[in-house]
Amino acid sequence: MAKGYSKKYEVDYEKTFAYVARLTTVRCFLVVVVIRQWSFLQLYVKNEFLHDTLSEEVYMTSSPGIVILLLYVDMIITRNDASGISDLQTYLNQQFDMKILGPIRYILRLEVSDFPDSFYLFQAKYVFDLISRAGLTYCQVASTPLAYNVRVTPHDGFLLDDSTLFRQFVGSLIYLAITRLDIAHAVHIVSQFMVFPRTSHYSVVLHILRYVKGTLLHGLHFSSHSSLALSSYSDANWAGGPYRSSFSHFFAQQKANFGFSIKC
């Protein structure tokens, strides 16, 4: 931890923080790159400091505004001329031990295929690993993210003895929804049951996994002919959702049974 002496006990003494790009930012970045037809380059900084055995104490300090790199740092450099990228690459090579990865192919578990006038963003390897972990490699696929006319409530089925796997799969599906907007609604539904998941909720998660197994290569296509105009959508009828009253009743029961309440 750089300048760890500035941390205060019982305030932020045990906390660490690392800057990581939001994946929505990565998506927006790729859209701008392909529409502007900019050159780009992926590389990362190799640093041996954290992987070496030290026989002495190490202290460090820096002036305000100076950033010290201590971790592996993935970089994507883009500019409207290739010569500017080349100059920056040369400078970074002189300062750090760099590895040049070339065009973007794989970053933050996102796979990128680039074409002359477009990018295709997908997570096939991530899906394959997720399906394997769920033990669904040889199962039948589902044709839709949710079963037809499915109605999921907080009361269906029995409480899971161990909810760890359920929460892991839902978290993984939330990450997958970065490039799979077709599962966003289904994932939103199961994510509402993270506190007290039941067998019926777990069945819905398995159904979503069977669907993504059959749509392994689905993803996002960014074309250079797209517009940079920003559009947004919202659910104007959220208050009339079919689960609102059920959730209120359910949480009231939990307060009576376990002595705590949950705000939603």
pLDDT in the model for residue 239: 57
Q: State the pLDDT confidence band at 131, using cuts at 50, 70 and 90.
A: very high
User: In percent, how much of the chain has pLDDT > 70?
Assistant: 72
0.75 exceeded by the pTM?
no
Q: Is the pLDDT of residue 38 over 90?
A: no
pLDDT tens track for 165-190: 999 999 999 999 999 999 999 999 99
Q: Is the pLDDT of residue 109 over 80?
A: yes
Mean pLDDT of 204-216: 96
Cα–Cα distances in Å, from 143 out to 81, 147, 177, 190, 209?
45, 9, 17, 18, 11
CB 215 within 8 A of CB 221: no
Q: Is the pLDDT of residue 61 over 90?
A: no
Q: Is the pLDDT of residue 254 over 80?
A: no
Between residues 238 and 68, which one has the greater pLDDT?
A: 238
pLDDT in the model for residue 237: 59
Q: Is the pLDDT of residue 68 over 50?
A: no
Between residues 137 and 11, which one has the greater pLDDT?
A: 137
Q: State the pLDDT confidence band at 129, using cuts at 50, 70 and 90.
A: very high
